[in-house]
Amino acid sequence: MNLMHRELVELLTAGVVMVEVAIIGAGQTKYGNHEKGLKGMWAESAKNAFDSVDHNFEPKLIDEAFIGSTAFGGGQLGNTAAILTEHSGMDNVSVRRVENACASSGFALRDAWMAIKSGQADIVVAGGIEKMNDLSAERKRFWLGVSGDTEWERLAGLTFPGTYALMARRHFHEYGSKHDDLVNISVKNHTHGFLNMHAHLRKEISFEKAKSGFMVADPLTLYDCCPTSDGASTVILAADHVVKRFTDTPIWVKGSGAASDNLALHDRPSITELIATKKASKKAYELAGLTPKNIDIAEVHDCFTIAELLATEDLGFCDKGQGGLFARENRGLRNNGEVAINPSGGLKSKGHPLGATGTGQAVEVFKQLRGEVEQGRQVIDAEIALTHNVGGSGATCAVHIFGREKNVK
């Protein structure tokens, strides 16, 4: 346990009153092939977030901003964040880009939470953005997989479909899970995403169709892989002593945890679990005073279907090795079991604009917990939600837990 986390736990245990943090507004663009560029997408996402705050909000009130992005394609590799704030009414706000591969904005969210927790800021924006579909095919191919281990894995022919395929086959071997279990995950997430107006792939798919997709990285087929999406997402966080000025229905950040792991698969003791997920979620559960059984909604990082299967195990929704059975029994389907997994459609259907994904997950749970999602998409009686954002094949991970009620001191 690191010092900051230990101190937080000790202070909470001792009954010391610390500032609590809530989301007061959240918005995003539609994910997909977006007609706007970086500036336009960020402006749209930020405006949607600003407009979602119930009252009295102005961008000039923002103290700090953290924007996650891999700067895919290298178009604006340096000072990416500054050029976004100047086009969204956030002029002169202290801002920086946060880069942790696909977990960039999960970590931006954590940084924003820490900025308020530290007492240095009252109102902080966390967001993310990626423009992936304006590159030539050749350039795009060079950028896909840049967050993996370049020296060894890439020269062994691996990009992320390949690394996750290795994990999948090993999980099948060790635990008896099957590709059909992954197909179930794909079908479920498309069912969820079909009703999400912000989703990239808004289409339901049959089990047979998902099962017969062309092979991308054996055993993973096209329907096991998320799309490459354009998109932006923004959340506004506030300290508890200012929350009431803006909303009567804040969504509280009850816990935050993050961890890292070896970048390359071959340096890890196991390829059928993500240690970073386990460690990050343990911290988040601990701070929130909750267990996996308390979670009603989990937006998990399903860049590939096997990643969702592993997440259900690593986050504690089922025992190790039971992720296949969990998927087979469709226990993650909305309003079908104890926890709804990826009611947004997840990365598989909603889409995966790398840097935007983490805060996009927070946008979803903010709306779910406030009962503001599209008709038919609501997870009934949801009180507690979790977001799980993974960088690459698990080198980094940020987990957050949210609730309608503030943590009990």
Partner 1 sequence: MSNNPVYFEGYLVCTHDEGIIAKSRFKANHTHVFGPDSDYTTLAISAINFMRKTLDVTNFIVDDNIQIEVLQACGYLHDENSIWAILCSPNSAELCITKKDKLNSEIEGEETNLTFVKEIENAWIKEGNSISQGAYISDQSYNLSISGRMNLQGQKVDDNYVWPAREYPNYGPDIVDSNLSKSGTILSWTSLAPGGAPSEFSIRAPILGGISTVFVKLKDGPNGVFLMADDDSSSLEIGLTVDLVVRKIYAQEGSVRYGLKAIISKLQA
Point out the residues that are catalytic.
Answer: 102, 352
Least distance in angstroms from the C-beta of 323 to partner 1: 16
Name the one range near partner 1 by CB under 8 A: 25-33, 141-149, 178-186, 228-236. 141-149
Q: Is 267 or 374 the residue whose CB approaches partner 1 more closely?
A: 267
CB under 8 A: which stretch of 13-21, 144-152, 178-186, 398-406 binds partner 1?
144-152
DSSP string covering 181-199: HHHHHHHHHHHHHHT-TT-
**DSSP for 297-357?**
EEE---SBHHHHHHHHHHTTSS-TT-HHHHHHTTTTSTTSSS-EE-TT-HHHHT-B-GGGH
Judged by beta carbon, residue 165 or residue 258, the one nearer partner 1 is: 165
CA distances from 248 to 49, 52, 170, 239, 255 (A): 16, 13, 48, 14, 21
Residue 153 in the binding site for partner 1 (CB under 8 A): yes
Q: Which is nearer to partner 1, 23 or 225 (CB)?
A: 225
Q: Does 323 bind partner 1 (CB under 8 A)?
A: no
Regarding 155 and contact with partner 1 (CB under 8 A), the answer is: yes
Q: HSE on the CB side for 235, CA within 13 Å? A: 33
Choose the stretch contacting partner 1; rule: CB under 8 A; options: 37-45, 97-105, 210-218, 240-248: 210-218
The pair phi, psi for residue 10, each rounded to 5°, is -65, -40
- Bridge partners of residue 387, in order along the sequence: 299, 400
CA distance 152 to 158: 9
* Distance of closest approach, residue 388 Cβ to partner 1, in angstroms: 23
State yes or no: residue 379 binds partner 1 (CB under 8 A): no
Please pick, from the candidates 6, 173, 203, 241, the single residue that binds partner 1 as defined by CB under 8 A: 173
By rule CB under 8 A, what count of residues binds partner 1?
Answer: 38
Biggest CA-to-CA distance, the chain:
57
Distances (CA, A) of 285 to 289, 373, 381: 6, 26, 20
Both tokens assigned to 260: 């890292």
- 391 in Cβ contact with 104 (< 8 Å): yes
Stretch that binds partner 1, among 163-171, 195-203, 233-241, 342-350 (CB under 8 A): 163-171
The answer to whether 226 contacts partner 1 (rule: CB under 8 A) is no
Site residues, partner 1 (CB under 8 A): 74, 138-139, 141-143, 145-146, 150-159, 161-162, 165-167, 169-170, 173, 214-220, 264-267, 271
